[in-house]
């Protein structure tokens, strides 16, 4: 009797094990022989159906063979994930202590997880309707963008979404002309994709000497990590573009990762304008079908460039030749729930396995990366000169101790804003708190508007008027009377962007005040509209949160005001000062980007704090060195390796008991020593959130390996303990938030 072939499958369950199945009943032996790892399989699981990933076929099982059930179907004979990527994800699941099936399902597009076939759709294009064809050349003159699209369609017959984006025509124009009956949707011609004569749509710029030196240091066709260190506007993207050109010329693909709020239509358009090859994008603004399409195009090699946020690191790209991570220090590269991976760190692993270069770009690199550069593991490339010869901004630290502030602004700050507007310039005001005021206070008894479900205060919002918890989403009306003493003297406490916006409108009634935060940009295209208005160059005041700090170019802003520089300095998270420095420098970097030189006013109660002084007068490198010294003394990353065991429950004593048990187990596996020690259980930074009490146990190790071994054994022990079923818990390896 021939031995039976079995399928070993990873399924998206919290169970840390694989499952064996018999092959689907209708499957022939020869089909079975051809099956390879990475294929998606539909299987019965309990009373449900699930999509799993085939890890291997085999001939014996540790499970009771009588009880094995047949798989339902092989979804597609072509593996969804090639073996290199499958191995990378399995490695990551092991490293981050995440069940394999969950890791795999995070890595796969939603539609594939749901069992959809991995088939490409024909690309949507636009063409002129009969009515549109009747329009004369030069029609629609009153809207230049509409005229441009009409003209392009008169010349080319059909245009794809990326063709249109490359012309810098916004999607709203497509809609307008469709509504007018001038253009209509169609499909791309069913031809094999034409290999363009040249990869370029637009000729590359001549690199500056400094860019050229940096570019020449990049070794193609081998593993190498380069930190490309340069401020916004120093020409990093141009170096990326030319490095990408190099791999495209070799028939390879390029993967570009950007922060969540950095992936704007402008970013994508910049790549599409340069290259005549297909550029695919993967980000949260797409629907599931669009995501699947981009993913499939990358996998088939049709898309030669993929630009995406964090999870794009898991896209199969058969001819990947380079990975680029822009703003590598950005927090959004680390996933904060489920599969808690760092896309930046996995990029290092993926590049290493593929023997390709990785470029990490930032003006304010993470301390991990800077340390790697200092240790010689990464090469450190510098771009100093600002393209276009703009001078660096002048920094003014404004000591506000004892000063009277109106609505958060010092008198000098107000005067400076007025002068700048009067001179016809734009001003950017940075305040990293959305809403009207951080909370509501009773003037008579000191009552504060706490969230009933969390240990945080509720934010006051004005439009519409309500109290909102930014941690659990709980909302309620603003009370008229103090719930505690019935006084009607309730007052908003502190400063939010809405409140500053109102104050600025009051002071500068003739100047447009433009607010940029999560609330004001919630609608699709809202950010585009705002950017368009600002790019007109008319005097205006931009007020907003960190959304203003990233990626956008505001050439006419000559004054940046930072209302409160102190927030991060005394944070209980050891990464607080690092993040504060990165954010402040990024905000400050928005000033004077083109011909006009800029100025930054920074209001602070701690102008003489060594970190603030160093940051602004000696620069980021010196600031980073200072923090690195501290981290070395206090035994924190990047000199040590951390992991957290996070636990939360409705009744605090259960999570605490669980973590005490975990510590006890850990100590019995690995007694605490200077090499590997434990801290906790301690309450999380916000102890109660959404009615759950949160605690954590911290592991601190001199090396990765013993920490990994310990965690693996510990997780196994915890899984086997009944208490672990009563707690929501997770391991967070290399946590970025404490």
Quick check: 692 binds Zn ion (CB under 5 A)? no
Cα–Cα distance, 143 to 533 (Å, whole number):
16
For tokens 């380069």, name the residue. Answer: 226
Quick check: 237 binds ligand ADP (CB under 6 A)? yes
**Known binding-site residue numbers for Zn(2+):** 442, 445, 451, 454, 469, 472, 482, 485
Rounded to a whole number of angstroms, the minimum distance from the CB of residue 213 to ligand ADP is 12
From the list ligand ADP, Zn ion, none, which binds 382 (C-beta under 5 to 8 Å, kind-based)? Answer: none
* 8 Å CB contact between 325 and 378: no
Quick check: 482 binds Zn ion (CB under 5 A)? yes
Rounded to a whole number of angstroms, the minimum distance from the CB of residue 444 to Zn ion is 5
Quick check: 236 binds ligand ADP (CB under 6 A)? yes
Assigned token pair, 301: 């090699």
Cα–Cα distance, 142 to 397 (Å, whole number):
48
Distance between alpha carbon 654 and the CA centroid of its chain, in Å?
Answer: 33
**Known binding-site residue numbers:** 442, 445, 451, 454, 469, 472, 482, 485
Point out which span in 233-241, 429-437, 657-665, 671-679 binds ligand ADP (CB under 6 A): 233-241
CA distances from 39 to 7, 118, 412 (A): 11, 11, 65
Point out which span in 48-56, 85-93, 447-455, 510-518 binds Zn ion (CB under 5 A): 447-455
Contact pick of 472, 594, 656, 707 for Zn ion (by CB under 5 A): 472
Quick check: 635 binds Zn ion (CB under 5 A)? no
- Taking residue 336's Cβ as centre, other Cβ atoms within 10 Å add up to 11
Alpha helices by DSSP H, listed for 275-317, are 288-300
Contact pick of 97, 105, 106, 211 for ligand ADP (by CB under 6 A): 211
Binding mask 363-392 for ligand ADP (x = CB under 6 A): ------------------------xx----
Contact pick of 105, 234, 253, 372 for ligand ADP (by CB under 6 A): 234
Cα–Cα distance, 165 to 193 (Å, whole number):
19
From the list ligand ADP, Zn ion, none, which binds 238 (C-beta under 5 to 8 Å, kind-based)? Answer: ligand ADP
Q: Which is nearer to ligand ADP, 233 or 316 (CB)?
A: 233
Quick check: 266 binds ligand ADP (CB under 6 A)? no
Question: What strand order describes the sheet that includes 728-733?
Answer: 676-689, 692-701, 641-649, 728-733
Quick check: 475 binds Zn ion (CB under 5 A)? no
Rounded to a whole number of angstroms, the minimum distance from the CB of residue 720 to Zn ion is 34
Quick check: 471 binds Zn ion (CB under 5 A)? yes
Contact pick of 487, 532, 536, 668 for Zn ion (by CB under 5 A): 487
Helix (H) or strand (E) holding 675: none
Helix (H) or strand (E) holding 153: helix 144-156
Quick check: 207 binds ligand ADP (CB under 6 A)? yes
Q: Which is nearer to Zn ion, 424 or 473 (CB)?
A: 473
Assigned token pair, 665: 């187990």
Spatial CB neighbours of 11, under 8 Å, sequence gap ≥ 6? 18, 19, 43, 45, 50, 52, 101
Spatial CB neighbours of 611, under 8 Å, sequence gap ≥ 6? 569, 577, 581, 623, 626, 627
Count residues near ligand ADP (CB under 6 A).
15
Contact pick of 12, 23, 109, 230 for ligand ADP (by CB under 6 A): 230
What percentage of the chain's residues is helix, strand, coil (to nearest 5)?
35, 25, 40
Q: Which is nearer to Zn ion, 595 or 691 (CB)?
A: 691
Contact pick of 205, 213, 415, 709 for ligand ADP (by CB under 6 A): 205
What is the number of alpha carbons within 13 Å of residue 490 lying toward its C-beta?
A: 19
Cα–Cα distance, 202 to 205 (Å, whole number):
9
* 8 Å CB contact between 541 and 554: no
Assigned token pair, 566: 């102190």
Cα–Cα distance, 554 to 583 (Å, whole number):
16
Assigned token pair, 230: 């340069």
Backbone φ and ψ for 575, nearest 5 degrees, come out as -85, -5
Count residues near Zn ion (CB under 5 A).
15
Helix/strand/coil for 460: strand
Quick check: 238 binds ligand ADP (CB under 6 A)? yes
Alpha helices by DSSP H, listed for 602-735, are 610-617, 620-633, 652-669, 704-720
Q: Which is nearer to ligand ADP, 234 or 311 (CB)?
A: 234
Interaction residues for ligand ADP, span 586-645 (CB under 6 A): none
* 8 Å CB contact between 325 and 307: no
Rounded to a whole number of angstroms, the minimum distance from the CB of residue 511 to ligand ADP is 27
Contact pick of 200, 215, 447, 639 for Zn ion (by CB under 5 A): 447
From the list Zn ion, ligand ADP, none, which binds 235 (C-beta under 5 to 8 Å, kind-based)? Answer: ligand ADP
For the chain, report the end-to-end CA distance as a whole number of angstroms: 58
Rounded to a whole number of angstroms, the minimum distance from the CB of residue 125 to ligand ADP is 29
Assigned token pair, 136: 């004369």
Contact pick of 65, 485, 526, 622 for Zn ion (by CB under 5 A): 485
Binding mask 389-428 for Zn ion (x = CB under 5 A): ----------------------------------------
Point out which span in 204-212, 273-281, 524-532, 542-550 binds ligand ADP (CB under 6 A): 204-212
* 8 Å CB contact between 376 and 225: no
From the list ligand ADP, Zn ion, none, which binds 451 (C-beta under 5 to 8 Å, kind-based)? Answer: Zn ion
For tokens 């001003």, name the residue. Answer: 427
Is the torsion defined by CA of 332, 336, 339, 341 positive or negative? positive
Quick check: 267 binds ligand ADP (CB under 6 A)? no
Cα–Cα distance, 117 to 78 (Å, whole number):
11
From the list ligand ADP, Zn ion, none, which binds 82 (C-beta under 5 to 8 Å, kind-based)? Answer: none
Rounded to a whole number of angstroms, the minimum distance from the CB of residue 53 to ligand ADP is 37
Point out which span in 128-136, 440-448, 605-613, 722-730 binds Zn ion (CB under 5 A): 440-448
Q: Which is nearer to Zn ion, 474 or 505 (CB)?
A: 474
Interaction residues for ligand ADP, span 109-128 (CB under 6 A): none
For tokens 């290092």, name the residue. Answer: 348
Contact pick of 127, 154, 176, 208 for ligand ADP (by CB under 6 A): 208
Pairing label, strands 357-362, 320-326: parallel
Cα–Cα distance, 5 to 8 (Å, whole number):
10
Rounded to a whole number of angstroms, the minimum distance from the CB of residue 240 to ligand ADP is 7
Binding site for ligand ADP (CB under 6 A): 205-208, 211, 230, 232-238, 387-388
Binding site for Zn ion (CB under 5 A): 442, 444-445, 447, 451, 453-454, 469, 471-472, 474, 482, 484-485, 487
């Amino acid at each position: 009797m021939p031995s039976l072939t079995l399928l070993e499958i990873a399924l998206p369950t919290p169970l840390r094990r694989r499952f064996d199945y018999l092959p689907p009943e209708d499957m022939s032996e020869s089909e079975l022989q051809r099956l390879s790892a990475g294929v998606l399989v539909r299987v019965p699981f309990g009373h449900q159906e699930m999509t799993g990933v085939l890890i291997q076929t085999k001939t014996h099982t540790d499970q009771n063979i009588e009880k094995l059930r047949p798989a339902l179907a092989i979804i597609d004979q072509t593996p969804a994930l090639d073996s290199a990527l499958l191995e990378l994800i399995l490695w990551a699941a092991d490293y981050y202590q995440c069940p394999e099936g969950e890791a795999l399902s995070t890595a796969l597009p939603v539609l594939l997880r749901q069992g959809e076939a991995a088939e490409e759709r024909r690309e949507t294009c636009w063409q002129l309707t009969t009515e549109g064809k009747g329009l004369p050349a030069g029609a629609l003159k009153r809207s230049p963008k509409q005229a441009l699209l009409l003209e392009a369609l008169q010349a080319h017959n059909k245009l794809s979404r990326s063709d249109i984006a490359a012309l810098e025509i916004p999607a709203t124009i497509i809609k307008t002309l469709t509504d007018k009956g001038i253009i209509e949707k169609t499909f791309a011609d069913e031809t094999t994709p034409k290999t363009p004569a040249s990869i370029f749509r637009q000729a590359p710029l001549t690199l500056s000497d400094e860019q050229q030196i940096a570019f020449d240091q990049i070794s193609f066709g081998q593993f190498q990590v380069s930190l490309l260190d340069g401020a916004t506007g120093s020409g990093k993207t141009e170096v990326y573009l030319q490095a990408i050109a190099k791999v495209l010329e070799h028939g390879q693909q390029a993967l570009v990762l950007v922060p969540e709020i950095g992936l704007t239509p402008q970013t994508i358009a910049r790549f599409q304008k340069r290259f005549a090859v297909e550029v695919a994008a993967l980000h949260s603004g797409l629907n599931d079908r669009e995501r699947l399409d981009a993913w499939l195009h990358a996998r088939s090699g049709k898309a030669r460039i993929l630009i995406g946020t964090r999870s794009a690191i898991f896209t199969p790209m058969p001819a990947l030749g380079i990975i680029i991570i822009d703003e590598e220090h950005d927090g959004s590269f680390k996933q904060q729930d489920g599969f808690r991976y760092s896309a930046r760190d996995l990029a290092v692993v993926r590049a290493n396995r593929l023997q390709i270069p990785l470029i990490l770009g930032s003006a304010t690199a993470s301390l991990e990366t800077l340390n790697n550069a200092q240790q010689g593991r990464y090469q450190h490339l510098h771009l100093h000169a600002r393209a276009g010869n703009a001078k660096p901004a002048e920094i003014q630290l404004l000591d506000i101790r004892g000063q009277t502030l109106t609505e958060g602004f010092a008198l000098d700050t107000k005067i400076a804003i007025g002068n700048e507007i009067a001179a016809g310039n734009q001003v950017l005001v940075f305040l990293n708190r959305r809403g009207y005021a951080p909370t509501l206070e009773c003037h008579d008894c000191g009552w504060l508007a706490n969230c009933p479900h969390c240990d945080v205060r509720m934010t006051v919002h004005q439009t519409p008027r309500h109290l909102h918890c930014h941690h659990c989403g709980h909302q309620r009306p603003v009370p008229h009377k103090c719930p505690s003493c019935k006084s009607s003297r309730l007052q908003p406490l502190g400063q939010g962007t809405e409140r500053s916006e109102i104050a600025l409108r009051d002071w500068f009634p003739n100047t447009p005040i433009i607010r940029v935060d999560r609330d004001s940009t919630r609608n699709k295209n809202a950010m585009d509209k705002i950017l368009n208005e600002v790019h007109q160059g008319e005097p205006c005041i931009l007020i907003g949160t960190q959304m203003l700090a990233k990626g956008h170019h505001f050439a006419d802003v000559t004054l940046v005001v930072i209302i409160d520089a102190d927030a991060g300095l005394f944070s209980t998270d050891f990464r607080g000062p690092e993040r504060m420095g990165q954010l402040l420098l990024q905000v400050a970097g928005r000033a004077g980007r083109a011909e006009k030189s800029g100025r930054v006013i920074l209001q602070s109660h701690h102008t003489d704090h060594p970190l603030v002084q160093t940051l602004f007068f000696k620069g980021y490198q010196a600031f980073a060195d200072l923090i690195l010294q501290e981290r070395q003394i206090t035994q924190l990353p990047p000199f040590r390796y951390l992991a957290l065991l996070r636990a939360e429950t409705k009744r605090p004593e259960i999570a605490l008991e669980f973590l005490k048990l975990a510590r006890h187990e850990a100590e019995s596996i690995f007694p605490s020593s200077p090499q590997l020690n434990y801290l906790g259980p301690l309450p999380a930074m916000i102890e109660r959130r959404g009615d759950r009490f949160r605690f954590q146990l911290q592991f601190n190790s001199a090396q990765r390996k013993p920490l990994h071994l310990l965690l693996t054994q510990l997780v196994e022990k915890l899984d086997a303990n009944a208490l672990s079923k009563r707690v929501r818990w997770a391991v967070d390896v290399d946590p970025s938030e404490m």
